[in-house]
Every structure is written in structure tokens, then in C-alpha cells.
Chains A and B, each alone.
Chain A
Amino acid sequence: MRQDPVLEVEDLHTHFFTRGGVARAVDGVSFSLHRGEILGLVGESGSGKSVTGMSILGLIDPPGRIVSGAVLYRGENLVAAGEKRLRQLRGNRIAMIFQDPMMTLNPVLSVETQMVETVLAHDRVSREQARERAREALARVGIPSPDERLAAYPHQFSGGMRQRVAIAIALLHQPDVIIADEPTTALDVTIQAQILFEVQKLCRETGTALVWITHDLAVVSGLADRVAVMYAGRIVETGTTVEVIDHARHPYTHGLLGSVPSRNKRGEPLAQIPGMTPSLLRLPEGCAFQPRCPRATAACLALPPLSGGDHGWRCFHPQEAAA
């Protein structure tokens, strides 16, 4: 019933070769994404979720390097692709949105320049046509009087408006995939909700698949079709949003869910995951969560395989499927 996935990540390893040693920022990540699907990639800072996003587009700079694995866009392996081919795809078939809207737009170039150059980077159209496309894109993300706003500079926009501009830039070529790296984290909650709603709508309308990278499970639960939870460079649990949120099996996912404040837990102390995120330079042996895990045993000194099927988890002692 399903078509082939637009994007597949297979056993991706991205390491950073620093003076202090090798940091395995991404250590065997796999997932796949279908047309129009929204995947929430969840993890704490330092879990490797952003590096995963950058690796897909080949934007890892030294000392970082993709060591092994594959990124398949419609069956084409991007890890093996040359810089020229990657450049054809970036911003065109696979677009990216970054976290801080204050920083992603160049402060000394007008919005028009920054949008038109993106159109012209991939399509041979006249400057006038490119401008028209930019105008349409701004209108689509709900920016009022786009003609005037095109001539403006980024500092003349509010944070939320800037992120809308960034999203409009990502939408210029109607990409197959958008990788959004915490795009709403820096925004006010109300603006965050508006943008979430609109992004969801746009993806549904255009069939664009979305990788939504975030540390916020609450955001993901309202937005994503599927969720992948990352810890220390590995995906520890993955499945449909309902399965992962309501029937979490990995103790780490459990811990994350327990630390989200919600109405029905009011008055109770919030659960905390004991201990600290391990340094990527000195990861514990086996399951990286084992030193902090309440259920850990000697078996956890070996790396647990991904168990389960469509709803998978990397744990020897998963929680029983809760009611």
C-alpha cells in the first residue's frame, strides 16, 4: 500500500575527530521517511539529532566526517554523492530550517536577495520570475504585504516572522523533504503553535515529508506521525507517535515522558532522570543509558539490538506495554 520512501537513513555513523578523542555524535542511526510523513526526531542536546540532520545534506565540516552508512534519497546514496550533486539537492529537493531565526538570515542582505538567490541557485528563470516565486512563498507562510517585506532586511522582522521567512525559503522549490532543526524552540509559545499548525498544513498540502528535530516531546506528540528517540548517538526507540508516547518501552523514553509537566500530574513532583548525559568522548560500554537506568543489569554492558517490529526499541529490559 505504501510507496517507496523518499528518504532512508541506513546505519549512519558520523564521528568528530577532535583533539580530545573521537566523538561518536551519530552512531548507527537508521530511519525512513515516506511522502508527506512527519518524523519527530527527539533527544536531549548532544544526543546527535542535529548532527543527523546535517549529515543528511552532507553539511558536516571537519573535524567531523560521515564514517559509514548511507543516506538514500529516492534510492540515490548521498553519502557517496559528490559536492556538486549535493548542492543540486540542497534547498531544492531537501531543504533545511535552523533553530535560531535571528541567526539564519544574513543581516546585511535584503530578504529579496536571500530568496531570489535560492530560486536562481536551482532554476533558470528570470530575476522577475524569481521575485514572483519569492512573493508567493511569503504569502503562503502568512506574511502580510509580501511586496513590502521583500525589500526589508532581517532586523526589521520579529523572530516569528523571520522563521516564517526561513520556512518560505525552504518551500521555494517545493522540496520532497524538509529537515527542521528545532525551528520553534527560540519562539514564544503562541507563535510556536501557529508555526507548527501551518507547517503541518503545508506538508499535508504539498506532500512534503518532514524531519522535525526537537527536544520537546510535547511538540512532537501533536505534530508527528512517527517518533524516533535518540540517546548518545543512537535511536533507542522508534514507532508511531501513539505507540511511543502511550506505550513507551525504553526506560529512557519513559524518563523523558515522566519529566514532561502535564495537567494530570499536577501537584506531584516531576520525575527526573538521574545522572547526566554522558560525554560523547567517553560513552559507557554497551547501552549508553545503562549507568542512569533503573532497570540496568550486567547484560546491558553489551549493546542491545533493536527489538520489536514497526515499534522498535533498543533495550534488554523494556518496560511492559503500559495500559
Chain B
Amino acid sequence: MTAAAPASAPKVQTPLKRFVVEFFDSRVAVLGLGLLVLVVSSALLAPWIAPQDPYDLSKLDIMSGMLPPGSADMDGNVFWLGSDEQGRDLLSAIIYGLRTSLLVGFSSTAMALAIGLIVGMIAAYVGGSTDATIMRLVDIQLSFPAILIALILLAVLGKGVDKVIIALTAVQWAYYARTVRSAALVERRKEYVEAAQCLALPKQRVVLHHLLPNCLPPLIVVATVQVAHAITLEATLSFLGVGVPVTQPSLGMLIASGFDYMLSGEFWVSVFPGLALLITVVSINLVGDQMRDVLNPRLQH
């Protein structure tokens, strides 16, 4: 900005604007955001940007199986990241796999967020024995590792993208419930909520218009990190053979299917999907870290 006239009124900054400005302060975070945009958009645009539809079996040629990265088949199609044993282009498989991974990560997080928000709000606002029971449940669930709970749930539910989403939602809701409850309890004691109550505003108005917006920042931070967590967890479950079905492979599935080839030196089938997974998770974590710093200076480490 050039030297402003001293008489001009101070620039009004909305919280959102300040957030955006502060977020772009960190080059690493901007890099993370850039990568994330790249990852998400390639997943969304998969049918248009993937060189091949990896699941149209008629397009696959067993003759171009296990080609190393950069080689071309007889028709001159280049397999930039190599191909798998069925002659599937790995780059296309990764782009489609990203779709499944992101779908599972984002939708399970969104559902868990919604459930946790409602449960946490009820716990904080109703209080008493309801609160105690809910938080006891949350404590017990959180004392067990997520992977174990998800594993058992999937053992019960069976394979399937929808089932993985359900299992991951069940695993995650408790984090949000706890976060929302503690944030809501802090906000509830603040004067503006008391003021709203004194004005005899209806309860749901107090909750929706006053409590909720102020509980959102910590929740957004937790949710960002949880998306990355959910994506990794899904990959792990699929690797263990209890996640998504073969017909709708995620990145984890792709990695697992390349495991055997890896031992014989055909690294690309596992390594490239792994790198894609890593880039996705790192970019989300970088964005999440910066959001935490910007939204809540107290959490800074």
C-alpha cells in the first residue's frame, strides 16, 4: 500500500480477510495449499485428464503389463509412471484412486463433524448427567486406537466404500464432540452469551447464532488435520484387505497390489501411489498447521 492520507478512515478488516492475509504469510502453507488444489482438482477432473479409463477392461492390453515408467506400448501410448500387471496406466489409476481416497477422507470427516457438533453441543448445553454420560463414552472410545476400532467395525460390516466411510465416521466423531464441548463451555461463560440469554432469546437462536460461530475455529483446525488422518487410515485399512473393494481401488489399495512386485524390483506399482498419498497428506497437514497458527495463537508451538 502506498502512503495513505492521514485523514482516511482506518481500513475495515473482516475476520475472514485477516485470516486470508495471515494465512498467505507463510510460504510453506501457500505451497501446501497449491499442492492441495492440484490434488483435489485432478481428482475431480479425473475422467477428463486421465490418459486412460483404468477400469474399462476393454481398454486394457495385457501385452503392455508391467511396463517401467516412461515406456510406450506398441500404439505409442506413453506410460509415464509405468503400468501394472494388467497393462493399466498407473498415472490414470492414481488419479482415479485419488477420487476414492479423497471421497472417503472428506465425507467421513464431514459426517463425523456433523455428529460430533450435535453431540458436543448437546453435552455442553444440557450438561448434568447427559453431559457426563456422553463424555464418558467419548473418553472410552478415545482411549482405544482408531485403527483397532475401524478394523473391528469393518470386520463386522464387510468391504465397501460406504462401509469404510461409516467406520471412519464412527472412529472420528468423538474428537469433534470433545472439541465442540470444550469450546462451547468456554464460550458459554462469556458475557455475550449471558447477554443473549438475558434478552430471553430462544435457546436455538443462542446456540445457532451465538455459540456455534464461535466454536467453529478450533473445529476447522481439528477437521483439517482429521481429513489427512482419515485418508491415511483408509489407505491402511485397504492395505490390510478390509477397506475398499477391488472394483473401486483407492491409493492404499494400489500400494497394496504393488507389494509383491516390489520385492522383485518393480517398484513403481507401489512407490508412485505412495508418493501421491504422501503429497496429499502433507499438503493437508501444511494447510492445517498454518490454519491452527492463524486461527488460534494460543495453540502455537
| Direct touch of chains A and B (CB < 8 A) | no
Binding site for A on B (CB under 8 A): none
